[in-house]
Amino acid sequence: MANVAVAELGGPAIRRQTLWRYWRGGLQGSEFTWAVAFVVPYIAVFLFMVVYPAFYGLWMGSNPALYSEVFSDPIYLNTVVNTLIFLAFGVNVKLFLALMLSGFFMRPGWWVKVLLMIFVLPWAIPALPTFISIHWMLIHWMLNGEWGLINNALYIMFGIDPGPSWLNSRWLALGSAIASHVWKWTPFWTVILLAGRMSIPQELYDAAKVDGATGIKRFLYVTFPLLANLYLVLTLLATIFLLGDFNSIYFVTGGGPANSTHLLATLGVVRDMLDLGKPQLGVAAVMTALPLLIPLVIILMRKLRTAEVQL
């Protein structure tokens, strides 16, 4: 009985000691001290830069009256339509182009490598100067309604005068922002799909060639099936990234004309917070994207866990 009592009394202490060893991960002495010294700053940054802003934003947008005001706003309804159009075209066009261009850059030759380096430059350059240059080029050179390059070309080639007022039309301005976004981010996804293509064993292509699969058949029956998992994951990632995109609209159209080209990200920041001085309303507008964002994140996590993005 005495032995049993001692074992029972020592049980919690042994469990605490085992748990402490588990958290130490087998590190002893200075190794554990250095590990803590490296981990604590990252934990602090995560708490202050991720956890705190997320919970603070949820608290700011917790008033149900805000959502009544958001949903009754006609500009918000137009913004939802803009966001869905931006997602449909921005995601699918750039990933389709990236898939096609990744096949082109698989060609041998030094000139292909040079073209790839030039092609990647729009993505490698920081977003601010890129979109500012696009904004200047679109407004002052290409899409100017009076003497822009495109309108002059329309007049010379087809006699169309006056030409369209590109950035004074909701749909033309939104299309310009989508084109700018695709131009900026297509190189990034092209490089990822190029890496995926390069991981496909050459033996599979050789076997397909023996079976008579060349050209488009080789792509349909060898390349694309092996890239399907990667392409799906990239589509989910691109959708999640684009839901929070701010630069494309802000630096190209500024939400104009007359707040008609806003996305959810720019409507909450530019119109609600900066112009109207209602940050709570802006947070509520942005948070209405959560019903779409959360399922996408869950699907992405499950896809990464189950399929492991296998090629």
Mind listing the pLDDT tens digit for each residue in 186-213? 999 999 999 888 888 888 887 878 877 7
Print the domain residue range for 268: 67-306
Does 137 lie in the same domain as 3?
Answer: no
Mind listing the pLDDT tens digit for each residue in 23-51? 666 666 677 777 777 888 888 888 888 78
- Which of 13, 28, 60 terminates a domain? The answer is 60
Does 245 lie in the same domain as 96?
Answer: yes
Structure tokens that stand for 157 in this block: 């080639």
Structure tokens that stand for 163 in this block: 């030409």
- Which of 60, 77, 108 terminates a domain? The answer is 60
- Which of 37, 60, 83 terminates a domain? The answer is 60
Asked whether residue 311 is domain-assigned, the answer is no
Q: Give the span between the Cα atoms of 133 and 251, in whole angstroms.
A: 9
- Where does residue 160 fall: left (phi above 0), alpha (psi -120 to 50 degrees), or beta otherwise? beta
Does 144 lie in the same domain as 10?
Answer: no
Does 21 lie in the same domain as 133?
Answer: no
Residue 6 has pLDDT above 60, yes or no: no
Asked whether residue 182 is domain-assigned, the answer is yes
Does 247 lie in the same domain as 285?
Answer: yes
Q: Give the span between the Cα atoms of 2 and 7, in whole angstroms.
A: 9
pTM for the model stands at 0.76
Does 123 lie in the same domain as 80?
Answer: yes
Does 294 lie in the same domain as 238?
Answer: yes
CATH number for position 290? 1.10.3720.10
Total domains, the chain: 2
Smallest CA-to-CA distance from 248 within 269, 234, 262 is with 262
Does 265 lie in the same domain as 177?
Answer: yes
Does 121 lie in the same domain as 258?
Answer: yes
Does 206 lie in the same domain as 295?
Answer: yes
Mind listing the pLDDT tens digit for each residue in 140-173? 556 655 556 666 676 677 666 665 666 778 888 8
Report the percentage of the chain scoring pLDDT > 70.
75
> Which residue carries 């049993």 as its tokens?
4
DSSP character at residue 201: -
Q: Which residues contact 262 (CB under 8 A, 6 or more apart)?
A: 75, 78, 79, 82, 249, 255, 270, 271
Asked whether residue 179 is domain-assigned, the answer is yes
Does 81 lie in the same domain as 52?
Answer: no
Does 194 lie in the same domain as 170?
Answer: yes
Asked whether residue 274 is domain-assigned, the answer is yes
Distances (CA, A) of 95 to 186, 215, 247, 279, 287: 7, 21, 19, 34, 26
